[in-house]
Structure 1
Amino acid sequence: MGKAEDERRFLAEQPMLLPDKPKTADDKPHYLGHRERLRERFASAGHSALPDYELLELLLFRLIPRTDTKPIAKALLARFGTLAEVLGAPVSLLQEVKGIGPTVALDLKVIAAVTHRSLRSEVTGRESLSSWQQLLDYCRAAMAFEAREQFRILFLDKKNMLIADEVQQTGTVDHTPVYPREVMKRALELSATAIILVHNHPSGDPTPSRADIEMTKEIIEAGKRLGVAVHDHIVIGKRGHASMKGLLLI
């Protein structure tokens, strides 16, 4: 067999390479049509028409423009549980989800901050006891998903209008040191006549502990001597809240 014949046989056995098909306008990523349909559903029917993962997906469209965000949205909810917990998660944990980099994680925290400020505006300048649900919504957004305990004080004037909202102490995962003298000192500085105490339980269970109850009673007694009423002490958890006054603990 000659060399020329060997070359012809070799060439005949090679697979035929077809030229690349020219790209057209129809060769768009598959998720673009889905994005448009999702936007149309939101525009026509509002957020109630979308499950949580699709609402989160819609948000991620802007943050991650050239990626299919459905798997990322589902992964975030699988990791953290709810939309509120996604927005409440620390930047470091958000970045552990595939597809979430430092920029997107920070953007999610900005959105959480806007939500927090919006809820605070609902209670600022209003009579706090008559807008109780808005107050609870605000406290839950601010504290429910914190990794450490926070002790927050809402300072009220004689009309029960919110004067100030301050985190006085931040502690560990299960304890925050609280000093009744410091609580009353700050109330007098702000000319507050009443306060609402709020703290969170990172464990998720809002049931007040014996220490919580005893500390609250000490603050109530200190307030009586100075003319500062303690309207309630609310414990915030991932699974809800507990009102010490509502539970007849104070």
Structure 2
Amino acid sequence: MGFKDEQGFDFSTGSKSGAPGHLGHRERLRDRFSQGGADAMPDYELLELVLFRAVARQDTKPIAKALIAKFGTFGDVLAAPAARLKEVKGVGDKIAFELKLVQAAAVRMARNTVMSKPALTSWSALIEYCTAAMAYDDREQFRLLFLDRKNVLIADEMQQRGTVDHTPVYPREVIKRALELSASAIILVHNHPSGDPTPSQTDIDMTRQIVDAAAKLTITVHDHIIIGRSGHTSFKALKLI
């Protein structure tokens, strides 16, 4: 084994150690992605590909594996706050920015597939969007989806963002906003940062209050969806609405 300086320059070979193998590894990953797509790659390798843009002359595998080890999945990494991402060795502002940019792009793409479309006939896409936007958030957020008379999604708004296990929701504000938008129906959505989408008694009570208030003004509450990392729960499916 040759002697290397702090930058990895190997005096026995006259080059930075691992450079040829590193470049070859990048090309192999790109080829695998081009041929088989993301399904052909584990999470850490897909993350490596993302990191290539932020890290030009460094092996990104150790960083990618460290991020997966700390946060769990590819989605968890993208959703992690920038400050927490930078707790991982080798992750600075540039990498954190790149990861948050990819997350924003994924959420925007998912949102564009559901806006201005009938929500009840695009249910799978709606759930995918809500999952992308909310499942990995470390704080609860309460989102309102407003629909017109044809159940076309006309607005998507986050009404409140709370703590790790609580978001204050005010039925009067929900109904007020629906009236402002001339919405005929709404879908309630919130996330459980714990990952478990099982509704709490507080969730059930709050939903009943909103349903009762909306009914008085002939506004329909189609559903209340709870998003978690392990899946989602529909109040309508549970016959709670």
The alignment's TM-score, normalised by the length of structure 2, stands at 0.91
Structure with a larger share of its residues in helix: 1
Q: Give the corresponding residue for 1:88.
A: 79
SS at match of 1:234: strand
Candidates 44, 60, 67, aligned match of 1:53: 44
1:44 maps to amino acid: Q
The structure-2 alpha-carbon separation of the partners of 1:183 and 1:30, relative to structure 1 and needing over 3 Å to count, comes to: same
In 1, Cα distance between equivalents of 2:167 and 2:203: 10
Q: Give the corresponding residue for 2:7.
A: none
Q: Give the corresponding residue for 1:170.
A: 161
Following TM superposition, by how much is the alpha carbon of 1:30 offset from its aligned partner in structure 2, in angstroms?
2.4
Q: Give the corresponding residue for 2:207.
A: 216
In 2, Cα distance between equivalents of 1:143 and 1:150: 7
SS at match of 2:122: helix
2:140 maps to amino acid: E
The structure-2 alpha-carbon separation of the partners of 1:30 and 1:245, relative to structure 1 and needing over 3 Å to count, comes to: same
The CA RMSD measured in Å over matched residues stands at 1.7
2:229 aligned with 1:241: no
In 2, Cα distance between equivalents of 1:151 and 1:219: 13
Where does structure 1 lack aligned partners over 5 or more consecutive residues? 1-19
The structure-2 alpha-carbon separation of the partners of 1:78 and 1:162, relative to structure 1 and needing over 3 Å to count, comes to: same
Candidates 184, 192, 195, aligned match of 2:183: 192
The structure-2 alpha-carbon separation of the partners of 1:79 and 1:21, relative to structure 1 and needing over 3 Å to count, comes to: closer
The structure-2 alpha-carbon separation of the partners of 1:25 and 1:66, relative to structure 1 and needing over 3 Å to count, comes to: closer
In 1, Cα distance between equivalents of 2:208 and 2:201: 11
In 1, Cα distance between equivalents of 2:174 and 2:229: 26
1:79 maps to amino acid: K
The alignment's TM-score, normalised by the length of structure 1, stands at 0.88
Larger-Rg structure: 1
Q: Give the corresponding residue for 2:197.
A: 206
Following TM superposition, by how much is the alpha carbon of 1:123 offset from its aligned partner in structure 2, in angstroms?
0.3
SS at match of 1:207: coil
Over the matched positions of the two proteins, sequence identity in percent amounts to 61
